[in-house]
Structure 1
Amino acid sequence: MELHVVINGRKDLAEQLYQQLRSAMESGRLAAGSQLPPSRLLAEQLGISRKTVSDTYTLLTYEGYLVGKIGRGTFVSPRPIKAAHKQEAQDLACAQSLARWQAIPSPLRHPSLEGTLRYEFIGGATTRAQFPAEQWRRCTQDALRRLSQAGSFYSQPEGLPVLRHAIAGHVAFSRGVVCTDQDIVVCNGAQQALDLIARVILEPGSLVAMEDPGYTPARLLFQAQGAQVLGIPVDDEGIEVARIPDGVRLIYVTPSHQFPLGMPMSEARRKALLERARELGAIVIEDDYDSEFRYEGRPADSLQSLDSLGVVAYVGTFSKTILPQLRLGYAVLPPAILAAVTKAKQLSDCHTATLSQWALAKFIDEGYLQKHIRRCHTVYAGRRERILQRLQGDLAPWLEAVPCTAGFHLAALCKVPVDIPLLLDLAKKVEVGLYSLHEFFHDHPVRAGLFIGFGAIETLDIDPALDKVRDILRQIT
């Protein structure tokens, strides 16, 4: 290896070398286990005598910084790094801002591989067993070939034209979205789409209305940008539009599959929401995160398809349909905010990785996406049905499912008083990951219950897991 050592003049050569090597080891620049160059080689590189280097190595070995291994060489000893004093958060001028960011919770944060429980009911996660690895590999190989033929330039912030075209066709077919390729901005997941839209619309103190209960990461994002978020209650038809106050400039809703309760927004309520947005001059974000999976009734068209005024920003994701780790999403934007969001995307990260964009475009064009959705639909429908059977059966004394027709999570409300934190804690001890509805409420009274995702748990694991939940409920109620 090469060392960054500078010898100045011809005086105190051994001292200069000693101090620089010791400093590098104490600071961690020379990590424990690193091999130093042979004394002859280092002496030649520095233009000093081999004896000077050998004597320095000997002294550092005596002090415990180095260790010699016969036949192998000289290595840095494992020893604590002497860290220099560095500024702490409270010492900085931005301490108040840092404290505010550090205080933001991390709802719905998925566990690490090491922290995953045997039976996991977390929402937003898909089953790896259904991931079409071979088809995705072929699409990625094609993407690599395309990249090798492309110039060494940054790509367009709004996304590759071929992917925007594929997305336009997909959302028109599956969700009735009315758009052209030029209306679409490709993002790193739906969360970035929400962030970009909020950046160009909100200012400190701006009013945002969103469903309560609702998608907590969206609320936290809006608040982090200085907005005042107002929780608007929901009923069986969706958000109560009449309770959206004057002054609101952004409205966030999940009309196809209300998050987290699950009911769809009625057509009358959708029309009322669009009219209220027109009155306010507000933009409506329609987060359509998992409505490709519908199990009952005729698929409802998107809210965007009813929008003749250009007030709806439709946000979608492939994290729920393919795999969360891919971090691919998009926004279909009304003309009024399209240019501003595109500029915000360019300033934020230039563009989403083109390798994954090329791969996804081919994945859609080859029909792999629709095949994958149909395959997952069958799997998720079976899991959903089994959970509903258990909620209507031996779990019925404690829990009642909220009616929903789409997605791969459902909500179950408590019919009797249940200590939910205790239930979650005891379930975790028997390797069952359960999640409360509590964290999704903001301004309005909490309705006790469970948020049950069935994307990640295998079908054969549902009954053993719910058996454990039933046994715990018997113990604590």
Structure 2
Amino acid sequence: MELHIVIHGRKDLANQVYEQLRESIESGRLAPGVQLPPSRLLAAQLGLSRKTISDTYSRLTYENYLVGKIGSGTFVNHLTAPTQRRQSAPVLASQKRIDAWQNLSLPLRHPTREGTLRHDFIGGATAKTQFPLDDWRRCTQHALRQMAQARGFYSQPEGVPELRKAIAGHIAFARGVNCVADDVVVCNGAQQALDLIARVLIEPGCTVAMEDPGYAPARLLFAAQGATVASVPVDDEGIRVECIPEDSHLIYVTPSHQMPLGMPMSLARRQALLDKARRIGAIIIEDDYDSEFRYEGRPTDSLQSMDGFGVVAYVGTFSKTLLPELRLGYAVLPATLREAVIQARQVTDWHTSTLPQWALAKFIGDGLLNRHIRRCHGIYAGRRDRILARLAGDLSPWMYAIPCTAGFHMAVMFKHPIDVALLVALMRKVDIGLYPLTGFYHHVPVRNGLIMGFGAIETLDIDPALDRLRDVLTQIA
């Protein structure tokens, strides 16, 4: 790779090279520790004499911009601090749109590695210690062999056929979803599936109905696409169908494990939702994000399996069963949407990386996914039972859990008024992460509570963390 230096004319050659190298170092484009090409090689690339380059390197070394290492070469000096590049701020025609994106509130943004707490009840995350790394490594090696046989072209936007077939078989078995491989589009997580469906269905000003409280990133996504997002309240049976606006183009729900409150949608409410969607011509997005983990009661049918009209787009993810960092999700689409979504996928980012697709196809096909889910089910069930026992015991004067039967988070409500922001701040001081429900509410009155995830916290850490929670509640209540 050539170092980017542009020579104009045949005058002042050494100074041209000097000025460009110095500016690159000061601006940070050439980072500390970067090795420069040998003087002979750079001279040949630029069509200059080696002496011109050697003199320039010597001058920059004298000024502490470069440092020479005997037997290794010439490097950018670590002592050189890059200067901030200054640009005048233009007045942009799209400034309002830029401001709108900059000011988005993201309540579910996960912490960086440096910001991770010792005991974290964050929702939507799993403990990496449960991930079957050795099995995944073998599947990745298989994926590399499959890629070596390919011709080097871009892959299909809808996903590798073997993975689509594996996903269709898995969700038909585990969730009763009525689909074949051709109905499946592989995505970079469930969030991209939502984005693709929204791109196809939403035009500025149209109405999207969703649960309130509900999954905040979905609300932000629909609004960013130009939709008017209608907040529809929920009760113990799920979304209140009669409150869904008649002009809705899209209805977003989490029927198996309502996000964030946790209760499942009743059978009668599911049927009413399907009937209304068919009558008003709306598409339902069923976000089935973590229902593989069920702890009590009989399994409930997916909304898609009850759909006789072709109005449900079923969205799932492997972020909860495997790792969020893999960014693998999928959508099972009705025939009316399928080709349009595939076209949108190709236009936006073409396709998901094929390496993890091949690996996941092998992982599912060899029965490793089901084995992993069974193993994690027992772990998560134990964590859930421990939290529920504490909520029914020494934490019962302050808190109670909303009943839920699936997933790995629960909503915990306070029995008396309490300053939740103060509680969260005090708990962070003792290295414990708690997360209020506030960010999930939009228009309906906020209920005072927490979303308490138990996927990322280790089982042995639960009691010490809840002991500290009890002590803090005793102090501030």
TM-score computed with the length of structure 2 as normaliser:
0.94
1:314 alignment counterpart: 314
2:191 alignment counterpart: 191
Offset of residue 57 of structure 1: 4.0
Please tell me whether the aligned partners of residues 212 and 441 of structure 1 are also in contact (alpha carbons under 8 angstroms): yes
1:372 alignment counterpart: 372
2:354 alignment counterpart: 354
Q: CA offsets, 1:387-430, max 9 Å, x none?
A: 00000111111101101111111011111111100110001110
Q: Name the SS for the 2:330 alignment partner.
A: strand
Please tell me whether the aligned partners of residues 263 and 405 of structure 1 are also in contact (alpha carbons under 8 angstroms): yes
The 2-side partners of 1:8 and 1:252 are apart by: 59
Please tell me whether the aligned partners of residues 106 and 216 of structure 2 are also in contact (alpha carbons under 8 angstroms): no
2:80 alignment counterpart: 79
Q: Name the SS for the 1:143 alignment partner.
A: helix
Distance 1:165 1:397, change over 3 A: same
The 1-side partners of 2:194 and 2:345 are apart by: 11
Offset of residue 20 of structure 1: 3.4
The 1-side partners of 2:363 and 2:444 are apart by: 43
Distance 1:24 1:407, change over 3 A: closer
Moved more, 406-415 or 42-51: 42-51
Q: Which amino acid aligns with 2:141?
A: Q
Offset of residue 109 of structure 1: 1.1
The 2-side partners of 1:134 and 1:67 are apart by: 43
Q: Percent identity?
A: 68
Distance 1:54 1:372, change over 3 A: closer
Offset of residue 28 of structure 1: 3.3
Offset of residue 432 of structure 1: 0.7
1:470 alignment counterpart: 470
Offset of residue 2 of structure 1: 5.6
Offset of residue 71 of structure 1: 7.0
- Matching of residues 52-451 of structure 1 within 5 Å: 52-67=52-67, 74-77=74-77, 78-88=79-89, 91-451=91-451
The 2-side partners of 1:22 and 1:84 are apart by: 14
Offset of residue 335 of structure 1: 1.1
Distance 1:26 1:443, change over 3 A: same
Q: Which amino acid aligns with 1:395?
A: L
Moved more, 75-84 or 134-143: 75-84
The 2-side partners of 1:444 and 1:296 are apart by: 30
Q: Which amino acid aligns with 2:357?
A: Q
The 1-side partners of 2:181 and 2:70 are apart by: 66
Please tell me whether the aligned partners of residues 143 and 358 of structure 2 are also in contact (alpha carbons under 8 angstroms): yes
The 2-side partners of 1:286 and 1:391 are apart by: 31
Q: Which amino acid aligns with 1:340?
A: A
Please tell me whether the aligned partners of residues 230 and 443 of structure 1 are also in contact (alpha carbons under 8 angstroms): no
Offset of residue 181 of structure 1: 1.2
Q: CA offsets, 1:333-391, max 9 Å, x none?
A: 11111111111111111111111111111111111111111111111111101100000
Offset of residue 151 of structure 1: 1.2
The 2-side partners of 1:226 and 1:363 are apart by: 39
Offset of residue 74 of structure 1: 4.7
The 1-side partners of 2:470 and 2:269 are apart by: 37
Distance 1:116 1:5, change over 3 A: closer
Please tell me whether the aligned partners of residues 427 and 434 of structure 2 are also in contact (alpha carbons under 8 angstroms): yes
Distance 1:84 1:134, change over 3 A: closer
Distance 1:66 1:445, change over 3 A: same
Q: Which amino acid aligns with 1:106?
A: L
Distance 1:469 1:40, change over 3 A: same
Offset of residue 93 of structure 1: 2.4
1:21 alignment counterpart: 21
Offset of residue 108 of structure 1: 1.0
Offset of residue 86 of structure 1: 2.5
Distance 1:340 1:24, change over 3 A: same
Q: Name the SS for the 1:158 alignment partner.
A: coil
The 2-side partners of 1:357 and 1:320 are apart by: 16
The 2-side partners of 1:73 and 1:150 are apart by: 40
TM-score computed with the length of structure 1 as normaliser:
0.94
Distance 1:27 1:298, change over 3 A: same
Please tell me whether the aligned partners of residues 286 and 314 of structure 1 are also in contact (alpha carbons under 8 angstroms): yes
Distance 1:133 1:47, change over 3 A: closer
Q: Name the SS for the 2:451 alignment partner.
A: strand
